[in-house]
Structure 1
């Protein structure tokens, strides 16, 4: 009797209808039983927002394919805590995002947040993004996603594993590099406008892209080497290097205690 196919959860932040999601589903479908739980509309830059103050609705699009009127985090939570609670997936994949999620982008990205929520709930997860502003050719990214997912499923994985993957657009990548997060900027612009009723409104963000040349970074791998970056992330945001420095601070009227309660 053959072993059951591994269960794979797919989500994203561009919506259940997006081309990148469909490319990812097609890529991983030969590897297992695929379930899709994705937002019913675009939720780019939603970060790790979760809906605690309004009800959520789930619409079944077709077999094992669901649209949620919430954030990417809501989708992962509902999938793992409700829809798939009786048989959790062996792997969660998110994307393929229409655009990069390099460096500081991971703090804003809904694509990464969907994977992060799944990892936080104990399911190994991978976020995939295509570094392009269009046109989007998801072929190379989908091929890499299949290969990485297949390798992941072939071995025991830590339950909170979280990988952030960026594939350069417009080229066939020359392999991949295991990287660290880099540093980049899109500029810091605020455009002030006025609506027909005389009220001001603002567009924030920028289009002046530049990244720091940091050896071993995801930005260098994608932009300079034209290779896929695979960056392991973790959920402990503690800046361990600053702990010792903070213990030397003196606060008037307050005594510092050690973590062990002393």
Structure 2
């Protein structure tokens, strides 16, 4: 098996190091990740400047671009082979509910999916890298699953509670929950007296009922949500056709 690994926390992040170490024994791996933290970059591609690829002493490749850039450049200009799987993470902090729209971790996996390659995004529920070995072990087990019943390519979003491996309560299929609106921006003044703004915190969970990623991880379970990219609001399609008639 050949696996391309990326993330949004940057090539030096403990999460991607742990993930690469966990997968190296079961696959031929190549790491192409951003040169710095690109959290919240979503599916953006860099079109206003050229990109440069470098190689670190540990063999990881890093790019001065977004997670989507990393996977795109790897697949179309760097790798001499087509990977069997794209894996992203392990992210520092959850990517659940509406967060998936902003997540660079999910975006790296999505870029592979758009190229027709199965892809999995891994995140820990809480920040701080606690119980990272447990998360990496779980990621390895999930990668080894065949998922033969799933239509390929598939795109899976995995969130792992920060718990010792023995304390995890299993792996369950979930849907995305929903959050309340984000908190307001934080206003400040820079050293030159100019108004600046920090994006506020994500909203609290609004829909965290049974079957959601929020509910599963709160119970100590690993959440796996299958994602799709078709944004068509099909329930509105007939109404729109009638409005245009």
| Equivalent in the alignment of 1:104 | 98
1:189 aligns to what SS in structure 2? coil
2:56 aligns to what SS in structure 1? strand
| Equivalent in the alignment of 2:188 | 193
| Equivalent in the alignment of 1:165 | 158
The farther-off stretch of 194-203 and 204-213 is 204-213
Contiguous gaps of at least 5 residues in structure 2: none
Distance 2:118 2:32 in 1: 16
- Write out per-residue CA displacement over residues 126-165 of structure 1, whole angstroms, 9 at most, x where no aligned residue: 000000132522122111111110113x859754310000
Pick closer, same or farther for the CA change 1:117–1:166 going to 2, 3 Å: same
1:11 aligns with 2:30: no
| Equivalent in the alignment of 2:177 | 182
Describe how 1:242-253 pairs up with structure 2 within 5 A: 242-250=236-244
TM-score by length of 2: 0.92
2:75 aligns with one of 73, 76, 80: 80
Pick closer, same or farther for the CA change 1:124–1:108 going to 2, 3 Å: same
| Equivalent in the alignment of 1:226 | 220
| Equivalent in the alignment of 2:44 | 49
Aligned residue-pair number: 243
| Aligned-pair CA distance for 1:26 | 1.1
Distance 1:23 1:196 in 2: 39
Equivalent pair of 1:124/1:158 in contact (CA under 8 Å): no
Equivalent pair of 1:132/1:170 in contact (CA under 8 Å): no
Distance 2:179 2:76 in 1: 35
Equivalent pair of 1:34/1:64 in contact (CA under 8 Å): no
Equivalent pair of 1:119/1:159 in contact (CA under 8 Å): no
| Equivalent in the alignment of 1:260 | none
Contiguous gaps of at least 5 residues in structure 1: 1-5, 251-255, 257-262
Distance 1:159 1:80 in 2: 18
TM-score by length of 1: 0.87
1:95 aligns with 2:89: yes
| Equivalent in the alignment of 2:62 | 67
Q: Cα RMSD (Å) of the superposition?
A: 1.9
1:113 aligns with one of 99, 104, 107: 107
| Equivalent in the alignment of 1:122 | 116
The farther-off stretch of 136-145 and 156-165 is 156-165
